[in-house]
Amino acid sequence: MKEQNVRMLIFDEFQNLIDRDSEKLSDKAANWLKELINDEDYKVSIVIVGLERTKKLFENDQLRSRFWNPVRMREFNWNDEKQRLDLKRFLQTVGKKIKIQEGLSISSNEMVYRFYCASGGLVRYIMNIIAVAQELAAKKDVAVIEMKDFAKAYSMVVCGNSEIAVNPFFEESTDRLQAALAVVAPSPPPQRKRSKATN
């Protein structure tokens, strides 16, 4: 790590180090992590990422004092106006990193709604759909993501979601989509204001 000038270590899926029976981090794993944090030769920032039970890590007094600013990432809630806007901004940021067909924006009001319906607001599903859509697009002559790529990616990534009876990226009408996905997304997508015609 010193030779490569590593400045940050991110441990993902850390819940796998939490024993399922005792719901505790093993002493061996705790000591290993503590020694890594204390090692003066490295001096890197360490980020722990995992599912909800990862918080058991912080029941260890020696480790709790060494980690600051825990962040809990929950799914976006469509019924919360601020979270709808946060989801839109999130997709705007992601959209800058991908090649998508002209005229299609993943941060348009309609596409934000489609992504919410497809994911239930879970970032993991959103990113998996986009990643698979990128892979599908890369196999074509023109490597840009089209709506059909999102549709196919959705069917591959979220195929086990029994609450969703229709592919959100197949439906042309968000009104039909709203009716089909009422369980997942009970509120309608934000509508654009239409200017009134004048005589």
Q: Residue 100, SS3?
A: strand
Do 85 and 172 lie in a common domain? yes
Asked if residue 70 is part of any domain, the answer here is no
Same domain? For 32 and 85 the reply is no
Query: How does the average pLDDT of the chain come out, rounded?
Result: 80
Residue of 21 and 169 predicted with greater confidence:
169
Taking every pair of C-alpha atoms in the chain, what is the biggest distance, in angstroms? 78
Q: For every residue of 110-164, which 3-state class applies, written as one string?
A: HHHHHHHHHHCCCHHHHHHHHHHHHHHHHCCCCCCECHHHHHHHHHHHCCCCCCC
Total count of domains within the chain: 2
Give the model's pLDDT for residue 178: 67
CA 136 to CA 177: how far, in whole Å? 24
List the structure tokens of 123: 């970032």
Report if pTM > 0.85.
no
| Identity of the highest mean pLDDT range in 10-19, 20-29, 53-62, 179-188 | 10-19
Let me know if residue 199 belongs to a domain.
no
Residue 144 has a pLDDT of 94
Residue with tokens 């089909």: 180
Sequence-ordered list of residues with C-beta below 8 angstroms from that of 3, at least 6 positions apart, any chain: none
Residues 29 and 112 grouped into a single domain: no
Residues 59-83 have a mean pLDDT of 80
User: How far is it, in rounded angstroms, from Cα 90 to Cα 106?
Assistant: 10
Q: What percentage of the chain has pLDDT greater than the value 90?
A: 28
Q: Are residues 19 and 98 in the same domain?
A: no
CA–CA distance, 97 with 102 (Å, rounded to integer): 15
Q: What is the mean pLDDT of residues 123-135?
A: 93
Q: What's the whole-number mean pLDDT along residues 39-59?
A: 80
Q: Which of 99-103, 127-131, 163-167 has the lowest mean pLDDT?
A: 163-167
In this prediction, what percent of the chain has a pLDDT beyond 70? Answer: 81
Average pLDDT over residues 25-48: 81
Q: Is the pLDDT of residue 171 over 70?
A: no
Residue 162 has pLDDT above 70, yes or no: no
Q: Are 71 and 61 in contact (CB under 8 A)?
A: no
What pairs with residue 25 in β-bridges?
18
Q: Are residues 102 and 172 in the same domain?
A: yes
